[in-house]
Amino acid sequence: MPSYRFQVRSQDGQIRTGTMQADSAGAAAAILRNQGVHVISVDSLKATGGEGGILESIRKLNSGKPNQKHVLDFTTQLAVMIRAGINLRSALDGIADQTTHAGFKKVILEIKQDVESGQQFSQALTKHPKLFGELYINMMRASEMTGGFSQMLERIAGYIRQQIETRKMVVGASIYPAIIGILAVSVTIFLLTFVLPKFYTIFEGKEDVLPWATTFLMTLSKSMVEYWPFILGGVVAFAGGIFAITRTELGSFWVDKLKLSVPILSGMFRSLYISRSLQTMGQLVNAGVPMLDTLTITGDVSGNKLFEGLWRKVHGSVKQGKKIAAPLQGNGLLPRAVVQMIGAGEESGKLGEVLDEVSDYYARQLKDQIKAVTGMIEPIMIIVMGSVVGFIAMAIILPIFKMSQIVS
């Protein structure tokens, strides 16, 4: 029977810890509650070896860090429980008991303790900025001032859900081309380092009659076989250098600029950034968050340095008393129709509704563009892979045919 370490608060308010054995963490928590104490945490003890130690290691590897899926589940459950009339502290306690992820359970319990100490929910969230983010915190702060706590949680859950779905679509669209590309490189390396060397003895000494393609591939193959440690080291160093450059401010700027200019993919990335920016801005405007804070958060979550710079420019303009649409004119990142609709939303006082509609339109456009890009990349990658493999195959076969004709 597994052992668990628990932390409870007794009826007189004292915190005590200990260990116990139970069939599961839930069973241990139930036993403790029957003793009339408030359960703070129940964690499995790490086994010292054998099967238990292996299972514990696997469990920890699978648990990982809390992610946006955990935040989405937490927000959805909290919205339902608050709408059902359960107070915030009891709702947090119930969600913590149901959470199986140890790291996220600890976060919920910390938030619960802060709320019990008299802090606002939004203030408790500020201690976990990487997990919840400025948008989540500011929207909850606005709901605490204006009311509608559960409705705001539902709005946030919908936003997170759409962002997760969008991320899945973009990642899913890049998986197949990545697999084809890796396969093409692997097949090419295999042919050059394992197949072509077997023909050295046949082609050696006949370089004058060999086609240029065969001569080129033989030279390349010999270099790869003889100097592969240096080539591998160079590739690793080059990849590491590129990665290091992209982590810098200037490098990430040029990568983001490339995303908006590369053929085929630029339209997809542009729709992604427009949809994300306008959806974020719309959610914050509808939540009643101050406009300057809204523009700052919109720039931070846009996901592209160029769009971030655009919204910072708008922030500076609005800070001087100008309207949002004015600095957006002729920026090149947002279509003119979008700028006009934003201006119309400002004039009519329905900016939040306009932003929601425009972001929904670009979200649908993004789905269509992902399908189109995937449909275009797949045949292109297949053609490229077939051309490379065919070139190598013909460079090997043609000299054999040519030499057989000479012999006959």
Domain boundaries, the chain: 3-63, 68-161, 172-408
Residue 264 has pLDDT above 70, yes or no: yes
Residues 44 and 25: beta-carbon distance below 8 Å: yes
**Residue 371 pLDDT:** 82
**Other Cβ atoms closer than 10 A to 92:** 25
**Residue 62 pLDDT:** 47
**Residue 50 pLDDT:** 41
Q: What percent of the chain has pLDDT over 90?
A: 9
Q: Among 169-183, 222-236, 304-318, which is the least confidently predicted range?
A: 169-183
Q: Stretch 337-360: mean pLDDT, rounded?
A: 89
**Residue 172 pLDDT:** 78
**Residue 13 pLDDT:** 63
Q: Stretch 110-132: mean pLDDT, rounded?
A: 88
Residue 46 has pLDDT above 70, yes or no: no
**Residue 54 pLDDT:** 47
On whether the pTM is more than 0.85, the answer is no
Whole-number Å distance between alpha carbons of 272 and 303: 9
Find, among 334, 346, 197, 339, the residue nearest to 270 by Cα. 334
Q: Among 105-109, 235-239, 368-372, which is the least confidently predicted range?
A: 368-372
Given pLDDT bands bounded at 50, 70 and 90, which one contains residue 4? confident
**Residue 45 pLDDT:** 66
Residues 300 and 134: beta-carbon distance below 8 Å: yes
Whole-number Å distance between alpha carbons of 101 and 362: 35
Task: Output DSSP code: residue 193.
Answer: I
The mean pLDDT value of the chain amounts to: 82
Residue 237 has pLDDT above 90, yes or no: yes
Residue 327 has pLDDT above 90, yes or no: no
Find, among 17, 8, 296, 283, the residue nearest to 156 by Cα. 283
Residue 332 has pLDDT above 70, yes or no: yes
**Other Cβ atoms closer than 10 A to 16:** 11
Q: Stretch 237-263: mean pLDDT, rounded?
A: 89
**Residue 52 pLDDT:** 46
Q: Stretch 384-408: mean pLDDT, rounded?
A: 76
Whole-number Å distance between alpha carbons of 183 and 54: 34
Q: How would you label 334-369 residue by residue, b for 16+ Cβ within 10 Å and e otherwise?
A: beeebbebbbebeeeeebbebbbebbebbbebbbeb
Q: Which residue has the higher pLDDT, 39 or 80?
A: 80
pLDDT tens per residue across span 53-68: 444 554 554 456 888 8
**Location of structure tokens 């086609």:** 211
**Strands 3-9 vs 38-44: parallel, antiparallel or unpaired:** antiparallel
Residue 165 has pLDDT above 50, yes or no: yes
Residue 256 has pLDDT above 50, yes or no: yes
Given CATH 1.20.81.30, say whether it is the number of domain 172-408: yes
**Residue 14 pLDDT:** 66
Q: What tokens does 249 get? A: 């401010």
Instruction: Check if 68-161 and 172-408 are the same fold.
Output: yes
Q: Which residues contact 49 (CB under 8 A, 6 or more apart)?
A: none
Q: What percent of the chain has pLDDT over 70?
A: 91
What one-letter code names the amino acid at 359? S
Residue 190 has pLDDT above 50, yes or no: yes
**Other Cβ atoms closer than 10 A to 286:** 17
**Residue 380 pLDDT:** 82
Task: Output DSSP code: residue 12.
Answer: T
Whole-number Å distance between alpha carbons of 159 and 301: 12
Q: Stretch 160-177: mean pLDDT, rounded?
A: 82
Task: Tell me the three state secondary structure of residue 43.
Answer: strand
Q: Kindly tell me the burial class for residue 36, based on how many C-beta atoms sit within 10 Å of its own C-beta (0-12, 13-18, 19 or more).
A: exposed
**Strands 38-44 vs 15-21: parallel, antiparallel or unpaired:** unpaired
Whole-number Å distance between alpha carbons of 266 and 372: 12
**Residue 238 pLDDT:** 92
**Other Cβ atoms closer than 10 A to 17:** 10
Residues 363 and 275: beta-carbon distance below 8 Å: yes
Q: What share of the chain is helix, strand, coil (3-state, %, to 5)?
A: 75, 5, 20
Instruction: Name the CATH code of domain 68-161 (choices 1.10.645.10, 3.40.50.300, 1.20.81.30, 1.20.1260.10).
Output: 1.20.81.30
- Reported residue count of the chain is 408
- At residue 389, φ and ψ (nearest 5 deg) are -65, -40
CA-based R_g, the chain, Å: 30
CA dihedral 305→310→311→313, nearest 10 degrees, is 120
Q: What tokens does 378 get? A: 């797949």
Q: Kindly tell me the burial class for residue 402, based on how many C-beta atoms sit within 10 Å of its own C-beta (0-12, 13-18, 19 or more).
A: middle
Find, among 372, 352, 376, 374, the residue nearest to 364 by Cα. 372
**Residue 405 pLDDT:** 65
- Record: fold of 3-63: Ubiquitin-like (UB roll) (3.10.20)
Residue 71 has pLDDT above 80, yes or no: yes
Q: Stretch 321-340: mean pLDDT, rounded?
A: 86
Q: Stretch 78-100: mean pLDDT, rounded?
A: 87
Q: Stretch 295-322: mean pLDDT, rounded?
A: 89
Task: Output DSSP code: residue 195.
Answer: I
**Residue 199 pLDDT:** 78
Q: Which residues contact 133 (CB under 8 A, 6 or more apart)?
A: 301
